Amino acid sequence: MAQFNLPKNSQVTEGKTWPAPNGAKNLQKFRIYRWNPDDGKNPRIDTYHVDRDDCGPMVLDALLWIKNKVDPSLVFRRSCREGICGSCAMNIEGQNGLACTMGIDECKSPDNALPFLSRKDKDGAVRIYPLPHMPVLKDLVPDLTNFYAQHAAIEPWLQTETPAPEKEWKQTPEDRARLDGLYECILCACCTTSCPSYWWNGDKFLGPAALLQAYRWLIDSRDENTGERLDGLHDPFRLYRCHTIMNCANTCPKNLNPAKAIAEIKKMMVEREV
């Protein structure tokens, strides 16, 4: 029988239960992952009670309410609050998403309940964890260094050999429309961190987000470096670790389909060999 030894301080423990606000009648329980690399302790799950009558409707509103009124030590990323920047990506009720666009009531829906929770755990609490697979810097903040390096590796900028025009590179409406469903990616990492192939091969497989961005430049009619771009992706791991599991498309908060983009890149690889 295989034996797995977990690293020191890796097991999650029960954390602190913070008191509910006095006089609040409409409470929502939150169970939030906490970890501080500086105190040498195990990760823990803290429990908070949010006054819904004093809080906005989104998960990010609840996190800000907790940080401002209960526990200022809680750490998470956020910026635009409009689903544009991707900063507040995290795992909410077992699914990656943006805290600023995920409603608290959506989390409480029976359709979103985690199927593997025991009856004791199905207590109506909203459970929040950092994005999976990535190293954690602190609390809900993952280390995205490798993710951004892989994005940079596909050289996500226009590459041309033709001398630059005096004003701009022109594109037909039809060619521009081909980029729809690709350029909208906000690099939140929800798709990449939901991909099992990336979990096991994250050091070699570029992942859904980077490959979607690669396809965006491969089909840009203004780009003149298609062959070199395909050469850079022609590798047993960089591209072909994708097994079309479709987690990426299911979790994307912008409703994009990285799996389709990856399939189109594979198709381009075959067509240039024929």
> What is the average per-residue pLDDT within 116-133?
74
Contact between residue 87 and residue 77 where contact means Cβ atoms under 8 Å apart? yes
Residue 117 scores a pLDDT above 70: no
> What is the average per-residue pLDDT within 187-207?
96
Contact between residue 124 and residue 29 where contact means Cβ atoms under 8 Å apart? yes
Which of 235, 236, 241 shows the shortest CA–CA distance to 259?
Answer: 241
Residue 114 scores a pLDDT above 60: no
> What is the average per-residue pLDDT within 160-183?
94
Q: Quick one: pLDDT at residue 124? A: 85
> What is the average per-residue pLDDT within 229-249?
94
Across all residues in the chain, what is the average pLDDT?
91
Contact between residue 217 and residue 205 where contact means Cβ atoms under 8 Å apart? no
Confidence of residue 9 (pLDDT cuts 50, 70, 90): confident
Amino acid (1-letter code) at residue 125:
A
Q: Quick one: pLDDT at residue 140? A: 97
> What is the average per-residue pLDDT within 51-55?
96
- Give the 3-state secondary structure of the chain: CCCCCCCCCCCCEEEEECCCCCCCCCEEEEEEEECCCCCCCCCEEEEEEEEHHHCCCEHHHHHHHHHHHCCCCCCCCCCCCCCCCCCCEEEECCEEEECCCCEHHHHHCHHHCCCCCCCCCCCCCEEEECCCCCCEEECCEECCHHHHHHHHHCCCCCCCCCCCCCCCCCCCHHHHHCCCCCCCCCCCCCCHHHCHHHHHHCCCCCCHHHHHHHHHHHCCCCCCCHHHHHHHHCCCCCCCCCCCCCHHHHHCCCCCCHHHHHHHHHHHHHHHHC
Residue 109 scores a pLDDT above 80: no
> What is the average per-residue pLDDT within 142-168?
95
What is the spatial distance between Cα 129 and Cα 123, in angstroms, rounded to a whole number?
A: 17
Residue 4 scores a pLDDT above 50: yes
Confidence of residue 108 (pLDDT cuts 50, 70, 90): low
Confidence of residue 19 (pLDDT cuts 50, 70, 90): very high
Contact between residue 91 and residue 99 where contact means Cβ atoms under 8 Å apart? no
Confidence of residue 113 (pLDDT cuts 50, 70, 90): very low
> What is the average per-residue pLDDT within 216-239?
95
Beta strand 13-17 with 44-51 is parallel
Q: Quick one: pLDDT at residue 127? A: 96
